[in-house]
């Protein structure tokens, strides 16, 4: 009888878990997908593509206040739709309640379902940088979606750097900016050196064949795992997860054996696109209310350099929300968990003045 009772309790618990998952899934409206073709897209190097596809997702009704959400390198708009991010922000009563806001999540140029080298051009695809990526986002927002002004731009990692560029390039286009896991200063130091290492390891692999490979270069998967472990995850969290050599080996082996479908040309373009990033020369142009969200254990943007404090002196009213390091944070990946800053983001949205749209 006890066994039957335990089985019934287990079954009830499983049903409860399924119901909880269903409730979570219904917390905000399902994303709607779309694709747009940008005609005669000009890259920073002068090349022009007659057609550039930009894929995007939207959540909420088009009549809501527009919000632009920007993803990190090698991600997509879909990569922001996680329980830890969207589940903490887009639901009823949450900071970006989708019944009030019209949330736009584009796939960046070169990523997701937007135009990229692996679509067919391979290494003949025009070299793009962050200026080109922001230009594509701007054309999507204005030409395709007809948005004239944004309440907020929030971006993570690469998306955070894009948010800085939006603020300096289109200063009148938004009320508030929330760049996360990023700095406005030039790509440099360990952040760039680590990128160079993974770029060179793939390009120097004989299997790469100048971008005309018949099978993905073997160095690609190792380079991706190497960069992820070296620059993301958090020191304290890794120590907790792998306190012995055996545990560390298992964690690494699991990473190396996990499914991996990236394309080498896409990978190289994505990481190389950051090479000339530097939003700092135009920081004085930012007019939006600015909330910087970083973590104290960010491996790529270590706060001890003091670069952020110096940059914020040039943006009146700009604030830094620095998440303390702990075993619960994940280094550069911490800002993927909105529980650490949702209250600060709510305050930003409650206090940021509504500015008129640019003429």
pLDDT per residue over 175-211, tens digit each?
999 999 999 999 999 999 999 999 999 999 999 999 9
| Distance in angstroms (rounded) separating the CA atoms of residues 214 and 308 | 44
Q: Provide Rg for the chain, Cα atoms.
A: 21
Contacts of 325 (CB under 8 A, 6+ apart): 234, 235, 236, 295, 296, 297
Between CA 295 and CA 270, with CA 111 as vertex, the angle to 5 degrees is 65
What ranges in the chain are assigned the alpha helix state H? 2-25, 86-89, 130-139, 158-169, 189-203, 219-231, 235-241, 245-257, 264-272, 307-312, 342-351
| Distance in angstroms (rounded) separating the CA atoms of residues 252 and 215 | 23
pLDDT at residue number 356: 85
Tell me the backbone φ, ψ of residue 147, rounded to 5 degrees.
-85, 130
User: DSSP label at 277?
Assistant: -
| Distance in angstroms (rounded) separating the CA atoms of residues 30 and 156 | 21
| Distance in angstroms (rounded) separating the CA atoms of residues 147 and 291 | 23
Higher pLDDT, 8 or 328: 328
Helix (H, G, I), strand (E, B) or coil at 349: helix
Has residue 82 got a pLDDT over 50? yes
**Residue located via tokens 């204005």:** 142
**β-strands 150-156, 65-70: how paired?**
parallel
Has residue 10 got a pLDDT over 90? no
Write the pLDDT tens digit of every residue in 154-168. Answer: 999 999 999 999 999
């Amino acid at each position: 009888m006890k066994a039957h009772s335990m089985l019934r309790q287990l079954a009830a618990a499983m049903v409860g878990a399924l119901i909880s998952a269903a409730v979570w899934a219904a917390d905000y409206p399902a994303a709607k997908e779309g694709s747009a073709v940008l005609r005669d897209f000009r890259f920073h190097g002068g090349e022009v593509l007659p057609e550039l596809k930009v894929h995007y997702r939207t959540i909420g009704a088009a009549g809501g206040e527009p919000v632009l959400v920007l993803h990190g390198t090698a991600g997509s708009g879909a990569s922001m739709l996680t329980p830890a991010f969207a589940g903490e922000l887009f639901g009823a009563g949450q900071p970006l309640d989708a019944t009030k806001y019209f949330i736009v999540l584009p796939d960046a140029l070169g990523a997701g379902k937007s135009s990229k080298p692996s679509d067919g051009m391979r290494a003949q695809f025009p070299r793009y940088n962050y200026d080109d990526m922001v230009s594509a986002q701007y054309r999507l927002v204005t030409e395709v979606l007809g948005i004239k002004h944004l309440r907020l731009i929030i971006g993570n990692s690469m998306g955070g750097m894009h948010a800085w560029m939006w603020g300096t390039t289109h200063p009148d286009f938004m009320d508030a900016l929330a760049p996360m896991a990023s700095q406005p200063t030039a790509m440099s130091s360990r952040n760039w050196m680590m990128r160079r290492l993974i770029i060179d390891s793939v390009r120097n692999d004989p299997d790469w064949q100048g971008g005309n490979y018949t099978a993905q270069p073997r160095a690609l998967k190792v380079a991706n795992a190497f960069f992820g472990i070296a620059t993301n995850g958090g020191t304290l969290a890794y120590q907790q997860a792998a306190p012995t050599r055996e545990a560390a080996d298992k964690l690494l082996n699991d990473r190396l054996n996990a499914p991996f479908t990236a394309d080498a040309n896409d990978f190289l373009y994505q990481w190389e696109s950051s090479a000339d990033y530097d939003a700092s020369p135009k920081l004085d142009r930012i007019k939006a209310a600015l909330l910087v969200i970083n973590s104290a254990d960010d491996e790529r943007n270590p706060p001890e350099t003091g670069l952020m404090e110096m940059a914020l002196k040039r943006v009146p009213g700009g604030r830094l929300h620095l998440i303390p390091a702990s075993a619960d944070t994940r280094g550069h990946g911490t800002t993927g968990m909105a529980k650490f800053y949702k209250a600060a983001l709510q305050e930003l949205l409650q206090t940021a003045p509504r500015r008129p749209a640019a003429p």
